[in-house]
Amino acid sequence: GQQLNQSPQSMFIQEGEDVSMNCTSSSIFNTWLWYKQDPGEGPVLLIALYKAGELTSNGRLTAQFGITRKDSFLNISASIPSDVGIYFCGPSARQLTFGSGTQLTVLP
């Protein structure tokens, strides 16, 4: 069956540091989405990637869709306290498949 691995599982960083997380899949996907979930709330779409190799930015966030369509990374630059939350990768075919999430903690 399809395997989706998201890493790291959790991160503790100092405010102002850059962050990088990634997802790899055993399957090829046409689209890759990145979401952030705050405690007790639904996920919010951060970035959507549609083309292999595509590099897209949204403010301090940058994400890239791997050439093989089996992986993606998300970078956050100059982290701030409100970046705290769980980040999910969501490769999509007919429906979304969620990674296990990366719990980000930003220390002041």
Partner 1 sequence: GAVVSQHPSWVICKSGTSVKIECRSLDFQATTMFWYRQFPKQSLMLMATSNEGSKATYEQGVEKDKFLINHASLTLSTLTVTSAHPEDSSFYICSARRQGSYVEQYFGPGTRLTVT
Tokens linked to 31: 């689209």
Helix (H, G, I), strand (E, B) or coil at 104: strand
Helix (H, G, I), strand (E, B) or coil at 92: strand
Sign for the CA dihedral angle at 94, 67, 103, 2 comes to positive
Instruction: State which residue, 14 or 95, has the beta carbon closest to partner 1.
Output: 95
Buried b (16+ CB within 10 A) or exposed e, 20-53: ebbbbbeeebeebbbbbbeeeeebeebbbbeebe
Our finding on whether 40 is near partner 1 (CB under 8 A) is yes
In whole angstroms, the minimum distance from the beta carbon of 78 to partner 1 comes to 26
In whole angstroms, the minimum distance from the beta carbon of 2 to partner 1 comes to 13
**Binds partner 1 (CB under 8 A): choice among 8, 26, 50, 58:** 50
Our finding on whether 95 is near partner 1 (CB under 8 A) is yes
In whole angstroms, the minimum distance from the beta carbon of 42 to partner 1 comes to 4
Q: Which residues bind partner 1 (CB under 8 A)?
A: 30-31, 33, 35, 40-45, 48, 50, 88, 92, 95-96, 98-101
